[in-house]
Amino acid sequence: MAVLPPGVRPVDNPPNRFSREEIEYLDGLLDEDGDETFAKVARLQVFEDTTRNILASNDSPDLGFDWSVNPYRGCFHACSYCYARPSHEYLGFGAGTDFDRKIVVKPNAPELLREAFDKPSWKGDFVLFSGVTDCYQPLEASYRITRGCLEVCAAYRNPCGIITKAPLIERDLDVLIELSKVTDVSVTLSIPLWDVDKARAVEPSVATPQRRMRTVEALARAGITVGVNVAPLIPGLSDEDIPQILRAAKDAGASRANTVFLRLPGSVAPVFEERLRKYLPMRADKVMRRVREARGGKLNDATFGKRQSGEGPYAAAALELFHRTAKQLGLERGASTDAPDRPTTFRRPPKRGDQLGLFG
């Protein structure tokens, strides 16, 4: 059996539906006897995106925002249920291990965001960080792209929201506090599971649920509006954790909570099922059966109005448990993906050489 170096794990990608070729990456290793062998492995690779636009538009009636910023594509957190996995196939990568370890970064995102805010057409709409992958995944510790974008939002007083699983956001408490003084800003921590072993099985490179809840507490203590996402709601796995997560969130200072029922579009399904059968084999059949029950016999239903909540008696019961518990605890419904329902605070900062207004 080959001994893998630290930080290296086997490659496993579903077939890319946009590629006519499938490539397996091989790397030389030494087995336990010191003899050379080969195994499929994947190390972190970082790619730079030279795009000239940073604001992504959204017109889904299921979502409460129109604009988002995505500093990273792919995500080191490696959550097996991530709906963004198929988007990696557009880059010629796989939706499995490639999504987890081939990360595309947008180093010029703060400059591009500033340029977008300076355009006369921009009216100060709410911006979400981010609509696809986690904007505080580990690479943010060194690239500081999300921080730079939030500093731009503060300078322009542009309302924004953040959704993340990463305690790294605590590093930017100073920026968040400044933002909260001049505009609407809110943060949502995604905590779909409370049991550490279950969480590690399906979201292997994320901080424990308890550590994420301490981040909720740190943000609330600093005066930042913060909530939790019990999302995705994984039937037969995370529904039993709902009351405990919501009680812990309330105790930590969260003011709101949200949930979204699991769906498995395209290449997400084989990644999720493979992870489930490998690490939680006794749960796998039950989970997959209940996903189908809530999706009309399929693993995904992209129909607007249904894709967030599912359908059928099981989905209805799980969602009722969530909403009833949240109401009893006094947690409002909603997440950082919801734009505030009030006039924007947006204002372009003066530039050198600008003429002062009549009243300052």
CATH assignment at residue 178? 3.20.20.70
Structural domain count of the chain: 1
Q: Domain range for residue 117?
A: 43-333
Residue appearing with tokens 């990463």: 166
Please tell me the distance from the alpha carbon of residue 24 to that of residue 139, in angstroms, as a whole number.
Answer: 25
Cis amide linkage into residue 232, ω under 30° from 0: yes
Place of tokens 């209805």: 316
- pLDDT tens-digit profile, the chain (360 residues): 344 344 434 445 555 554 444 433 333 333 344 443 333 456 889 999 888 889 988 776 566 668 999 999 999 999 999 999 999 998 889 999 999 999 999 999 999 999 999 999 999 999 999 888 999 999 999 999 999 999 999 999 999 999 999 999 999 999 999 999 999 999 999 999 999 999 999 999 999 999 999 999 999 999 999 999 999 999 999 999 999 999 999 999 999 999 999 999 999 999 999 999 999 999 999 999 999 999 989 998 877 766 678 889 999 999 999 999 999 999 998 766 667 778 899 999 987 656 554 444
Q: Is residue 355 part of a domain?
A: no
Please name the helix (run of DSSP H) or strand (run of DSSP E) that holds residue 101, with its range, or none: helix 97-101
Helices 173-182 and 209-221: crossing angle, nearest 10°?
A: 50
Residue 119 lies in a domain: yes
Say if 259 falls within a structural domain.
Answer: yes
Burial string for 92-116 (b: 16+ CB within 10 Å, else e) reads ebbbbbbbbbbbbbbebbbebbbbb
Answer whether residue 140 is part of any domain.
yes
Is 6 contained in some domain?
Answer: no
| pLDDT score for 66 | 86
CB-neighbour burial class of residue 339 (10 A; exposed 0-12, middle 13-18, buried 19+): buried
* The predicted structure's pLDDT at residue 360: 41
pTM of the model: 0.85
Q: Does residue 255 fall inside a structural domain?
A: yes
| Cα gap 274→213, rounded to integer Å | 28
Distance, in Å, from the CA atom of 204 to the CA atom of 234, rounded to the nearest integer, reads: 16
According to the model, what pLDDT value does residue 26 have?
34
Is 343 domain-assigned? no
- Closest among 216, 222, 223 to 250, alpha carbons compared: 216
- pLDDT score of 131: 82
* CA pair distance 19, 17, nearest whole angstrom: 6
Q: What per-residue confidence (pLDDT) applies to 12?
A: 53
Residue 319: the pLDDT is 93
Evaluate whether residue 294 is within a structural domain: yes
